[in-house]
Structure 1
Amino acid sequence: MWNILKARVAAKRGKKLAENNQGRTLERAFDVIECVSSSSDPLTLTQISKATGLHIATTKRILGTLERRLYLKQAPNGYTLGPQVLPHAHAFLLQDRLALISPPILRDLTAVTSLTSSVFVPSGDQRILISRVEAPNALGYEFPIGQVLSLTLGGGKVLLAHKPAEEQERIIEAADSTPLADQKVQTPETLRADIEQILDTGIFVSASERSHGTVSLTAPIRNGDDTVIASINITGHDGLTNAEDILKHQANVLQAARRISSQMS
């Protein structure tokens, strides 16, 4: 009987160990994919190993698996994302409700304001662009769907303001002192002040923070439980608008946010 009990305990431990190992392997694979996707240039085996903190042999094994499945591909100067990621991105745009309902509302918002309009969703310490309509007088830069930006600059602060307090403070402290495009320096103290202002007014106007001459107005998008799940903004360059003039479109932005929220219920 004692031997049977010991065998059962050993089996349970073995199963748990196997599950833990599978979980770690999966997380490591995601770490590698995220590392490669965050770089605009190919990354070598050594660079990926150092960036992820994985042993080089472990990294090589994961790279081999991901390359066979076409999630990564190897170029002469390193690894890049493979074609298999594209069907997943396309499926997201077809399946995600926020991505489906946002475009027509953004088109209406851009038609009224003549400014570029966008929807971002939070992802950890960053935000991801999932929908965008360019203005007739486009900005000096264009973002593709999937563009990743910081939560601590510009409209990202609206999403940061609605993070849980502990997570919010961790992100603020990690940002430290950040040079802005207007030559000013954002400190944790000024970032906290911006967050207080967002929670007080419900919006945020940014001018020349991330990009010189760019002005934006951002508001939160909520779901049926009143939880902030995304942000909506309008953006233009200082030849078209400024921090004072863009406030004239506040009602339009808030109305667009409410239209999206009402369809998310």
Structure 2
Amino acid sequence: MATGAAAAGGAAEGVQSLERAFVLLELMADAGGEVAISRLAAESGLALSTIHRLVRTLVARGYVRQLPSRRYVLGPRLIHLGESSSRMLATWAQPHLSWLVDEIGETANLAMLDGDRVVYVAQVPSRHSMRMFTEVGRRVHLHCTGVGKVLLAQLPADQVRRLLVQAGMPVRTERTVTDPDELLAQLPSVAERGYAVDDGEQEAGVRCVAVPVPGGSAAGAISVSGPAGRLGMDAVSRVVPLLQSAAAALAAELRQDAGRPRA
């Protein structure tokens, strides 16, 4: 029979292995494509023997796939987890987005960081006949969207630069910022004031105001978007507190759900 100390030691080792496995998955996601074991070792600080052991387990479970080049990519089983997570978030977000539409009158969105892009996971459209519409599941660039910029503002500068270089900064309109240094210079102000504005940078004539979902990570953002003529810059001071209220309420519900005991 195992002693209490031995059992506790085994549990701690299991938690450490789980944490390390998630670190490797996140590094693969940040790489945006194929990644070599040597890069995982350099960026994680883990021993090669540890990485090989964890990666073999992840490959066996279908969460990582090894290519003929012996490099690694995220595996197909993560798609199911991601879809389930997105559906859960969309369910939690729906009433908060509906409240924003009632209060502001424009389309409300929930978006999440997805590698070097941002993906829309939930939306409630405006009731105006002319309204903004983005397909749920659509992945867009970070540099030219309100949700993208507010998520970037929560990340370290070196990670932001890496994501921007990795994804590129294509021109969408004459207002699009395409210089990494220029965007990086704007992000501290975005972080300080707690919101970002896409002022016709993704689509001409469209304005979007976004805030992060609180929680200490660049996981999610809530936004409203509409025609610039209806959603004027003079409305930002009224819109931001409403967005922040909805984001805080959503974060509180997610924390409460995470704390519930599971069967």
2:127 counterpart letter in structure 1: P
Q: Return the offset for 1:147.
A: 1.2
Select the residue among 100, 119, 122 that pairs with 2:91: 100
Q: Does 1:121 align with 2:108?
A: no
Q: Return the offset for 1:244.
A: 2.8
The aligned residue for residue 188 of structure 1 is: 180
In 1, Cα distance between the equivalents of 2:237 and 2:130? 19
Q: Return the offset for 1:185.
A: 4.5
Q: Does 1:212 align with 2:249?
A: no
Q: Return the offset for 1:176.
A: 5.8
Query: For residues 125-136 of structure 1, what are the structure 2 equivalents within 5 Å?
Result: 125-136=116-127
In 2, Cα distance between the equivalents of 1:262 and 1:118? 18
In 2, Cα distance between the equivalents of 1:88 and 1:21? 14
Q: Return the offset for 1:227.
A: 3.2
The aligned residue for residue 262 of structure 1 is: 252
In 2, Cα distance between the equivalents of 1:236 and 1:140? 6
Percent of pairs with identical residues: 19
In 1, Cα distance between the equivalents of 2:111 and 2:165? 23
TM-aligned CA distance change 1:28 to 1:88, over 3 Å: closer
In 2, Cα distance between the equivalents of 1:111 and 1:231? 19
Conserved in 1, the CA contact under 8 Å of 2:141 and 2:167?
Answer: no
Q: Does 1:230 align with 2:198?
A: no
Conserved in 1, the CA contact under 8 Å of 2:144 and 2:176?
Answer: no
Q: Return the offset for 1:206.
A: 1.4
**Number of matched pairs:** 198
Query: For residues 6-17 of structure 1, what are the structure 2 equivalents within 5 Å?
Result: none
Structure 1 unaligned blocks of 5 or more: 1-11, 30-52, 59-65, 72-84
Conserved in 2, the CA contact under 8 Å of 1:179 and 1:185?
Answer: yes
In 2, Cα distance between the equivalents of 1:89 and 1:227? 17
Q: Return the offset for 1:181.
A: 1.2
Conserved in 2, the CA contact under 8 Å of 1:180 and 1:186?
Answer: no
RMSD over aligned Cα atoms: 3.4
Select the residue among 237, 241, 250 that pairs with 1:251: 241
Query: For residues 1-265 of structure 1, what are the structure 2 equivalents within 5 Å?
Result: 19=56, 22=59, 27-28=64-65, 91-94=84-87, 96=88, 98-137=89-128, 142-155=133-146, 156-174=148-166, 178-182=170-174, 185-223=177-215, 226-265=216-255
TM-aligned CA distance change 1:151 to 1:177, over 3 Å: closer
**Structure having the larger proportion of residues in strand:** 1
Mean alpha-carbon deviation: is it higher for 232-241 or for 18-27? 18-27
The aligned residue for residue 32 of structure 1 is: none
- Higher-Rg member (1/2): 1
1:192 counterpart letter in structure 2: L
TM-aligned CA distance change 1:210 to 1:139, over 3 Å: farther
TM-aligned CA distance change 1:133 to 1:125, over 3 Å: same
Q: Return the offset for 1:28.
A: 4.4
Conserved in 2, the CA contact under 8 Å of 1:176 and 1:188?
Answer: no
Aligned residue for 2:222, secondary structure, equals strand
TM-aligned CA distance change 1:134 to 1:175, over 3 Å: same
TM-aligned CA distance change 1:103 to 1:179, over 3 Å: same
